[in-house]
């Protein structure tokens, strides 16, 4: 992200927080679920991946568990910026992983639905 761009916001209307630095996530590999017009997948949902979601994603053609290149592979409990449409697909299939609201981009709601994302929040204390 260019340094002169305005800060991106999360689902709570606050500055977007870091999702994960280990493993390093985000479309720009900054640790945040930042996005721009080039991010066609809208990697905007910060999740805490589950075994069920990792298997779901693998069956859909995106194996996030297998290490390759510099990618370490994800294990249940890791945080990762996932595409909003894939999260919604998993939600519709009943296997959506938990969402970290403070690190999920506000634009994710346009694709995945705000209520669905809020219902899967792991950081509900952020709402108080």
Predicted structure pTM score: 0.91
Helices within 39-107 (DSSP H only): 51-59, 84-92
Domains of the chain: 1-128 (3.30.56.110)
Q: How many CA atoms lie within 13 A of 124 on its CB side?
A: 7
Residue entry with tokens 């800060």: 7
Measure the CA angle with vertex 76, ends 99 and 127; round to 5°: 20
Write out pLDDT tens, residues 46-90: 999 999 999 999 999 999 999 998 899 999 999 999 999 999 999
Dihedral in degrees, nearest 10, Cα atoms 36, 101, 45, 72: 110
pLDDT at 5: 67
């Amino acid at each position: 992200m260019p340094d002169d761009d305005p800060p991106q916001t999360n689902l709570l209307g606050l500055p977007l927080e870091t999702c994960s630095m280990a493993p390093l996530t985000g479309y720009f590999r900054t640790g945040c679920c930042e996005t721009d017009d080039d991010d066609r997948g809208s990697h905007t949902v910060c999740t805490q991946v589950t075994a069920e979601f990792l298997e779901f994603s693998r069956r859909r053609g995106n194996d996030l568990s297998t290490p390759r290149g510099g990618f370490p592979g994800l294990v249940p409990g890791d945080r990762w910026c996932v595409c909003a449409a894939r999260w919604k697909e998993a939600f519709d299939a009943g296997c959506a992983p938990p969402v970290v609201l403070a690190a999920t981009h506000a634009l994710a709601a346009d694709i995945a639905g705000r209520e669905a994302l809020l219902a899967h929040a792991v950081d509900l204390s952020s709402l108080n």
